[in-house]
Amino acid sequence: MGEIFPKLGWITVGLSLLGGALYIARKGYIYLKKNNKIPISYEKQIKQIMQLLAKYHKYIGSSAVIIGFIHGYFLLGGIRLHTGFISWGFLAFLMVTGLIGPKYYKKSWRKIHKGVAIIFAVTVFVHLFFRNLFL
């Protein structure tokens, strides 16, 4: 049973990348459309992929938060100061900014969400390569 918990960390990373794919897909689409680089035959499929990512974005993020917490909690035997817990904290804050940001920060929530996502990505990198920094 214990060997599943490290795998949950990689599932969380995968879900996080999938969640970030929406931003990359949107930016890529806008750039390619602006520069007339999208073949007309692919435009419909690209839009469908973006709509699918947008539809499930909140569920993907929420799943990452839950699975990430389970990963860390059971590997460490509780909540402790650890690079993974710090990373998870930014992931949870990222989810909060995505869920309440549009309601309370109508103009700036995307910038806040993107900024927290960048900090989260840095903390994931630190966690992956300097996991026991605080132990």
| Cα separations in angstroms, 63 against 7, 14, 16, 106 | 14, 11, 9, 25
pLDDT band at 135 (very low <50, low <70, confident <90, very high): low
Q: DSSP labels for 57-83?
A: HHHHHHHHHHHHHHHHHHHHTS--S-H
40 pLDDT above the threshold of 90: no
pLDDT-derived band at 131 (thresholds 50, 70, 90) equals: confident
Q: Is the pLDDT of residue 17 over 90?
A: yes
Cβ-contact 87, 127 below 8 angstroms: yes
Question: Using an 8 Å Cβ cutoff, are 134 and 98 in contact?
Answer: no
Q: Is the pLDDT of residue 1 over 80?
A: no
> When comparing pLDDT for 3 and 93, which is higher?
93
Alpha carbon separation from 40 to 33, 44, 119 (Å, rounded): 10, 8, 36
Whole-model pTM: value is: 0.90
Tokens representing 31 are 């750039």
